Chains A and B, each alone.
Chain A
Amino acid sequence: MTDAAAIARTRDPAALYRWLYLTFVAAFVALPLIATVLGGFKSLGELRTNPFGLPSHWEWENYAGILLSHRYWQMLWNSFAISTLTTGITVVIASMAAFVFAHLRFFGSRMLLNYFTMGLLFPAATAILPLFIKVRDLGLLDTYFGVVLPQVAFALAMSILLFRRFFRDLPSELLEAALVDGCSYPRFFRFVTLPLSRPILATVGTITFVHSWNAYLLPLVMLNSDAMYPWPLGIMVYQGEFTADWHLILAFITLTILPTFLLFVLAQKHIVAGLTAGAVKG
């Protein structure tokens, strides 16, 4: 935000309009979030009379009650396990496939790459029912892997393209020199490509993790016991139980978006680069 004093000094009407516009949008974005966090500190009665302001009496027990409950940690753990497995598997197998597409030409390699690119064209929702049947027939319903494997599969197309582009941009002299010295392709991948690929590993890892952490539809269809629910499902169950107790629901929402928020603050650069570069360079 530009200084109000600076605007007064320059008397530039454009700067004033700019300031007003930015303030308005900032309020539009921030108010629902601030009201949510503060709402968790209020009693239900106060929420009704004073939804915007600071709480007159800070009700710490709303938050404390949730933080001390088993279900909160259970669902965060479920989310963490599912997202970590999804990210780990995606990064490993997508980077391996991308390495082949980046450095090795063989009969049908172009066609295979196009085959994977098809995955960019449609969302998982289009095939959600057959996916459910498949996961059921594999006996993976209500397990982490019933969610993880389809998530990995749908993350592959974008991940492979991002990795491939990065691998191809690495200096080709490296590979030539390594081959002359008798290094094999798999060893080159393990000991040269991967250590040089930290930025793209971080990017793909971030995209995959955030998408998996926030995912709703796949877990909704594949999981059916509360004990397995990741947080987007758990929070819906919680809301169903405490329909009108908004102060508790708001506290619960705040605590569930807290990890995302912290991660965002700590790793802004990676997250912004990841989520937009994935789009721009895909």
Chain B
Amino acid sequence: MAAGSGQHPAAIPFPSMLANAYRSAAANGRLAAIVLFLPPALLLFTLFVVMPVAEAGWYGVYNWNGFGKPTNWVGLDNYRFVFETRAFGIALRNNVLIIVVSLTIQLPLALSLAILLAEKFRGAVALRMLFFLPYVLAEVATGLIFSFVYDGDYGLVAAIWRFFGAEPPYLLASTQTSMLAILIVVVWKYFGFHMMLFIAALQGQDKNLVEAARIDGASRWQSLRHVTIPLLYPTIRLSVFFAVVGSLQLFDLVMPLTRGGPADSSQTLVSFLYSHGVMRMRIGYGSAIGVILFAICVTFAATYKRWFMRDD
């Protein structure tokens, strides 16, 4: 349609060229598609994602309880107060702890199970589904199930302790053990997701490589160590990425278990933001926490992608 108008551009006066271009765009609906299809997504995304993030930066320099307009400008005081809050340090430490456990316990667990369950045997698919099930369940339900498991009077842990004749502990009520209890739930809930990532990757692998290694005399362990696992490196990097991002978002699980307590011992960054910012309606202070969280997320995503995922 538009091809004819392009052949003798000099012969056609400029306005009619524009008109032609416009007509052809209108005829095949190019313009209509752009004008009709983009704005809804653009509007919602700008209104509820981009603007709130920008506004968090704005509110963060005010002392504001949310009523009227923010007028009480306090500069960077909110940020200073955040860094001076003891709970913030604990939350940061706990987030790091979650990442460490994800890397040292969850990742090996998921990887080893994936290698076992990627093979075909009776029950393999059923086990995969069982291990993936916790990931599908809501965090809140998981948290409640485990607050029962850990309950010192009625819980499963208490029953096991009593079986051995010991006084049952109240894991969630002690500042010493509350975070440990949450870490176990984190592994319980998320290892299946990482396992599925690995299984998907393993099933996409070229089986001939392992076979060739075996024919060349590599033991089962050697072919695993030097062929299968190196081929999984991109997936491992991805899995680490999700573990860190997940840790930075962890909230729903913490609320039913401990609400960040006792004495802030099990706060995560988001639960800290909720209990110290949202609950007390300290918009400025809470926004400052949000900005810090945002900075951590974006810095991490950008550096990780640049350093580790460049070739993927």
Q: How far is the CB of A136 from chain B (nearest CB, A)?
A: 8
Q: How far is the CB of A197 from chain B (nearest CB, A)?
A: 15
The number of A-B residue pairs with CB atoms under 8 Å apart is 278
A214 touches B138 (CB 8 A): yes
Chain A CB within 8 A of B155 CB: yes
Q: How far is the CB of A220 from chain B (nearest CB, A)?
A: 8
Known: A129-B290, A249-B148, A275-B193. A134 touches B47 (CB 8 A): yes
Which of B28, B132, B153, B297 contacts A179 (CB under 8 A)? B28
Task: Write out the residue numbers on chain B whose beta carbons fall within 8 Å of the beta carbon of A133.
Answer: 55, 59, 66, 283
Interface size on B, residues (CB 8 A): 93
Q: How far is the CB of A108 from chain B (nearest CB, A)?
A: 10
Known: A28-B188, A150-B48, A185-B33. A129 touches B131 (CB 8 A): no
A100 touches B270 (CB 8 A): no
| Complexed CA–CA distance, A239 and B259 (Å) | 14
- With CB as the reference atom, state the residue of chain B lying closest to A2: B121
| Complexed CA–CA distance, A149 and B40 (Å) | 11
Q: How far is the CB of A118 from chain B (nearest CB, A)?
A: 7
- With CB as the reference atom, state the residue of chain B lying closest to A135: B48
Task: Write out the residue numbers on chain B whose beta carbons fall within 8 Å of the beta carbon of A128.
Answer: 273-274, 278, 286, 290
| Complexed CA–CA distance, A236 and B297 (Å) | 29
Chain B CB within 8 A of A67 CB: no
Report A's interface with B, CB cutoff 8 A.
Answer: 1-3, 18, 21-22, 25-26, 28-33, 35-36, 39, 44, 47-48, 51-52, 93-94, 96-97, 99-100, 104, 106, 112, 115-116, 118-123, 125-134, 136, 149-150, 152-154, 156-157, 160, 179, 182-187, 189, 210, 213-214, 216-217, 221, 231-232, 235-236, 239, 244, 246, 249-250, 253, 256-257, 260-261, 264, 268, 271-272, 275-277, 279-280
6 of the cross-chain contacts (CB-CB < 8 Å) are A25-B113, A36-B148, A121-B297, A133-B66, A184-B32, A257-B141
